[in-house]
């Protein structure tokens, strides 16, 4: 014990001696981030004041005050009106469910799909609630919507990788998709005819790729805005990218990207809901039981249907 005290006293004397001797320890060049502190509070803050107009700050201000809210409103209302008109004028497609049933979606895929679905059902409406938060008066309601928005994201994130791996190959674009796009999937006519499409049609593929790749971007930008002080430059360094933008600039860019991409994803999500619940009667059942009726397959996924029949004939020979 005595030894320790003597040692400590000695150490403090040595330290003092250095100071008296003029050897003032120079502070390391400042960067709050490298010390593992809040990257938002660094000397970069001062430069940011002067660079505000050149950076994303001014742009975010412009988009948030002039663009985001009206665009979300137009897209939300626009999509709903289009589908209401479609339902009233062209109407839903009905297929016989009496003939054979084909087992299309495995239990695993259905579970993955419904995890993602619950995620989206939480994410999209709460997103709209935040955009129109002033109309709802803010406070606890909108704050809880923000929390639900993040919880939904966790569900979606869980489903993202398995869904991508399982559906990656059937979702690759084919020649059928071009034909599908030219006739808009046959949704503009009342006639029931064979639509060129594989296991998934071009519309489903668009939704898949947007939800997967766009979803990844949404998770990344959303997570950054959620965690706020996770140093992006350090993260980029781990994957070998040297970037010099300040943390606040990444946050601003995230908010801009998240809003614009969010509009597109919300629009296609509503489309997906409309198609599965209203436009094609009984389509929802196939994601519950995993089975699609022969009539529906033959018309809406004609190429896939032919492939299934061919395979069947081969195996029965």
Partner 1 sequence: MSEYARMKFYCDDERCIECNGCSVACAEAHELPVGINRRKVVTLNEGIFGKETSISIACMHCTDAPCEQVCPVDCFYIREDGIVLHDKDTCIGCGYCLYACPFGAPQFPKDGAFGTRGVMDKCTMCAGGPEETNSEKERELYGQNRIAEGKVPMCAAMCSTKALIVGDEQEVSKIYRERVASRGKGVQSAPYGWSTAYKN
Residues found near partner 1 in the complex (CB under 8 A): 26-30, 38, 40-43, 45-46, 48-50, 52, 56-57, 60-61, 64-65, 130-134, 136-139, 142-143, 145-147, 150, 225-226, 228, 248, 251-252, 255
Q: How far is CA 69 from CA 76, 122, 128, 272, in A?
A: 10, 20, 9, 23
Complex with partner 1: residue 46 or 107, whichever CB lies closer: 46
Q: Which among 198, 189, 312, 209 is positioned nearest to 265, based on CA atoms?
A: 209
The minimum distance between CB 145 and partner 1, in angstroms, equals 8
* Cβ within 8 Å of residue 136, ≥6 positions away: 129, 142
Which residues make Cβ contacts (< 8 Å) with residue 226, sequence separation at least 6?
Answer: 150
Nearer to partner 1, 224 or 280 (CB): 224
Closer residue to partner 1 (CB): 6 or 135: 135
Q: Supply the angle between the helices 247-274 and 68-89 in degrees, to the nearest 10.
A: 10
Q: Compute the least distance from the CB of residue 68 to partner 1, in Å.
A: 9
CB of 140 to partner 1, least distance (A): 8
Alpha-carbon distance of 146 to 133, in angstroms, equals 10
Phi, psi of 84 (to 5 degrees): -65, -45
CB closer to partner 1, 68 vs 180: 68
276 DSSP 8-state letter: I
Q: Judged by CB, which is closer to partner 1: 251, or 270?
A: 251
CB 58 within 8 A of CB 52: yes
CB of 205 to partner 1, least distance (A): 33
Nearest approach, Cβ of residue 264 and partner 1 (Å) = 19
27/88 with CB nearer partner 1: 27
- Burial class from Cβ neighbours inside 10 Å (0-12, 13-18, 19+) for residue 171 reads buried
Question: Least separation, in Å, of the C-beta of 146 and partner 1?
Answer: 5
């Amino acid at each position: 014990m005595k030894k320790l005290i003597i040692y400590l006293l000695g150490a403090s004397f040595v330290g003092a001696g250095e100071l008296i001797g003029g050897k003032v320890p120079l502070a390391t060049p400042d960067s709050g981030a490298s010390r593992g502190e809040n990257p938002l509070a660094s000397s970069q803050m001062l430069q940011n004041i002067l660079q505000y107009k050149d950076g994303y700050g001014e742009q975010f201000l412009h988009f948030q005050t002039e663009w985001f809210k009206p665009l979300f409103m137009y897209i939300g209302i626009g999509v709903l009106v289009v589908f209401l008109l479609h339902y009233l004028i062209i109407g839903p497609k009905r297929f016989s469910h009496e003939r054979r049933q084909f087992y299309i979606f495995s239990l695993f895929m259905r579970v993955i799909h419904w995890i993602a679905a619950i995620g989206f059902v939480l994410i999209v409406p709460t997103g709209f609630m935040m955009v129109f938060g002033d109309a709802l008066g803010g406070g606890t309601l909108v704050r809880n919507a923000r929390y639900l928005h993040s919880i939904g994201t966790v569900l979606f994130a869980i489903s993202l990788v398995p869904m991508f791996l399982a559906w990656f190959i059937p979702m690759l674009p084919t020649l059928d998709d071009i034909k599908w796009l030219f006739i808009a999937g046959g949704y503009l006519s009342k006639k029931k005819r064979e639509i060129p499409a594989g296991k998934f049609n071009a519309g489903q593929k668009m939704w898949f790729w947007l939800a997967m790749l766009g979803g990844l971007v949404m998770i990344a930008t959303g997570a950054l805005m959620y965690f706020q002080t996770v140093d992006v430059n350090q993260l980029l360094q781990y994957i070998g990218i040297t970037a010099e933008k300040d943390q606040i600039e990444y946050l601003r860019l995230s908010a801009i990207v998240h809003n614009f991409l969010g509009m597109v994803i919300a629009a296609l999500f509503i489309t997906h809901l409309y198609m599965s619940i209203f436009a094609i009667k009984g389509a929802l059942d196939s994601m519950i039981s995993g089975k699609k009726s022969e009539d529906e397959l033959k018309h809406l996924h004609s190429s896939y249907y032919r492939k299934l029949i061919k395979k069947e004939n081969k195996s029965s020979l």
